[in-house]
Amino acid sequence: MGSVKDLEIVKAPAKETMGIGRFHFSNRYSVFDWGEMPDHIPSKGEALCLMGAFFFEKLEERGIKTHYRGLVDGNGNILRFDELDQPTNVMEFNLVNVYRPRAYWDEAGLKYDYSMFTSNLKNYLIPLEIIYRNGLPEGSSIFRRLEQGLITIEDLDLDHYPKPGEKLSKPILDVSTKLEEKDRYITWSEAKKIAGLTDHEVDEIKSMLLKTDDVITEAASEAGLINEDGKIELAFDHERRLMIADVVGTLDECRFTYDGVHVSKEVARQFYRKTEWYKDVVEAKRKSEAAGLKDWRGLCKSSPPKLDPQLKAIISEMYMAAANDITKRRLFEAPKLHEVVRKYREYEKAKI
**Mean of per-residue pLDDT scores for the chain:** 94
Segment 257-302, tens digit of pLDDT = 999 999 999 999 999 999 999 999 999 999 988 887 778 899 999 9
Angle at Cα 308 formed by Cα 302 and Cα 309, nearest 5°? Answer: 130
Segment 3-19, tens digit of pLDDT = 789 999 999 999 989 99
Segment 17-42, tens digit of pLDDT = 999 999 999 999 999 989 899 999 99
Q: Which domains does the chain have, with CATH numbers?
A: 5-273+308-351 (3.30.470.20)
What pLDDT is attached to residue 108?
74
Segment 237-246, tens digit of pLDDT = 999 999 999 9
C-alpha span between 219 and 204 (Å, rounded): 23
At 280, phi and psi to the nearest 5?
-65, -35
Longest dimension (CA), the chain: 58
**Residue 1 pLDDT more than 60?**
no
What pLDDT is attached to residue 351?
82
Instruction: Summarize the confidence of residues 318-335 as an average pLDDT.
Output: 97
Segment 175-221, tens digit of pLDDT = 999 998 878 999 999 999 999 999 999 999 999 999 999 999 999 99
SS3 126: coil
Angle at Cα 317 formed by Cα 315 and Cα 322, nearest 5°? Answer: 95
SS3 229: strand
**Residue 2 pLDDT more than 70?**
no
SS3 145: helix
pTM equals 0.92
